[in-house]
Amino acid sequence: MIPRYSLPEMSGLFSDVSRMALWLEIELLAVEGWSLAGVIPSEAAKACRERAPVIDEAFVSAVIEREQVTDHDVAAFVDVVQNAIGPPEGTWIHFGLTSSDVVDTALSATLTRAADLLIEAQDGLVVSLKRRAIAEAEVPTMGRTHGMHAEPTTFGAKLALWCLQADRDRARLRAAREGIAVGKLSGAVGTYSNIDPAVEDYVCSSLNLRPVPSTQVIARDRHAEYLWSLASVGASIECFTTEIRHLQRSEVAEVSEPFGAGQKGSSAMPHKRNPVVSERLSGLARLLRGYAGAGLENVALWHERDISHSSVERIALPDASLLAYYCIRRMTGLVDGMVVHADRMRSNLDASAGLAFSQPVLLALVRSGLERDAAYRIVQRDARRAMDEDRSLRQVLDEDPEVELPAGELDEAFSLSHALRNAHRTIDALGAVA
């Protein structure tokens, strides 16, 4: 992933140094597991740990150089580690293991740590949305369907729905973490033919992973679930940012992204303040969906394994983790800094000239004894007349001899407070959000 969208705490997990450090830890734990099983002398296991190489850029370079000969990254890694430890103890490194035992278990450990960062970030987004929803709970705004004015709602209710969706994404991240927090050290086709299951138990327990049955590789539906959970996060963020983009349009102007001192919206037009963060996050969500598709393609492998998944995962898993983390963090900042123009919201609501209250009028006419279709046609006709004549719906209704309703009933039908009397229920639902 390019540095522009990489935050250091996440990118550090996927560096070559971090990856090979986990490989080494698994190799050393396996030696210790064999020692506990009575196969490897305890002194040899201790020597391997004490003389293990430091994993740094120089070590990574040595492995890359060796890989030019082996054309196999794990084999090259094992060679360099064994040389660093030296004989005879170094020969116990990788005893009874196949490459996937090391690579898959290390990958699971990395993705588990990545998931922890993602969940922590999602916690922050949920908290921010909940706080803003409660703060804006009483701010009326026009609800829109098909991009058209529909009925009044509150901006707090809108944000509360976002918060509830973000909370569901958090649950999906937690489930994906549970699914990927697994390891395997069971050999070439998963039958433990050359390794004691106790070694697998020891290594996985030391890494806080669960050992699971497998072929030579851990089943890739787990990785697909992880990528899908990230795509779901991205889809929700795109949902939120698409709304912000619409509400920031010049003609609407109800919400705007924070605009920093010294920031420029355009190189040519000084007046511009564009929703650039929302647009950026909307675009990155497309990549997250693409990686989810790649993850699903990886589920079907030949027999007990092939490596068609490997090249995909070297790109998709780090990039998707980095992008999702970046998106969550930037979305949280956007929510915290979002400027709400309550006066403009009320102005836009009032600009409907009462048309947003057509349904309460319809229901009042039905209660008065009219058949629903007849009542509908009356209100539809008067609404069209109000629009054509640039008048309020209430004025047109007052002049319509077919509308026989007491003034009090029409007052209630056009009452904003009456329309929003139950909107608090959406806010109340946030009480269940931790």
Q: Examine the residue annotation and report whether 72 is marked as an active-site residue of this protein.
A: no
Q: Examine the residue annotation and report whether 266 is marked as an active-site residue of this protein.
A: yes
- Cα(300)–Cα(220) distance, integer angstroms: 8
Tell me phi and psi for residue 367, to 5 degrees.
Answer: -65, -25
- In the set 146, 250, 267, 417, the catalytic residue is 146
Which pLDDT belongs to residue 299?
97
Omega within 30 of 0 (cis) for the link into 88: yes
CA angle 61, 65, 68 (to 5 degrees): 145
Which pLDDT belongs to residue 356?
96
What the chain holds in terms of domains, given with CATH numbers, is 1-95 (1.10.275.10), 99-257+272-341 (1.20.200.10), 347-432 (1.10.40.30)
> Among 336, 424, 423, 281, which residue's Cα sits nearest to residue 127?
336
- In the set 266, 308, 368, 415, the catalytic residue is 266
Which pLDDT belongs to residue 183?
98
> Among 219, 182, 216, 184, which residue's Cα sits nearest to residue 200?
184
- Find the DSSP H helices in 5-154: 8-11, 16-36, 42-50, 57-70, 73-85, 99-135
Type of residue found at 320: A
> Among 216, 210, 200, 218, which residue's Cα sits nearest to residue 29?
200
Q: Cα dihedral sign for 28, 185, 18, 58?
A: positive
Are 148 and 356 contacting, i.e. CB atoms less than 8 angstroms apart?
no
Are 128 and 332 contacting, i.e. CB atoms less than 8 angstroms apart?
yes
- Cα(168)–Cα(174) distance, integer angstroms: 10
Ordered mean pLDDT values, 10 residues apiece, the chain (434 residues): 91 97 98 97 97 98 97 97 97 97 98 98 98 97 96 98 98 98 96 97 98 97 98 98 97 93 84 92 97 97 94 97 98 97 97 96 96 96 96 95 91 96 96 93
Which pLDDT belongs to residue 271?
86
159 Cβ contact partners less than 8 Å away, ≥ 6 residues apart: 129, 132, 133, 136
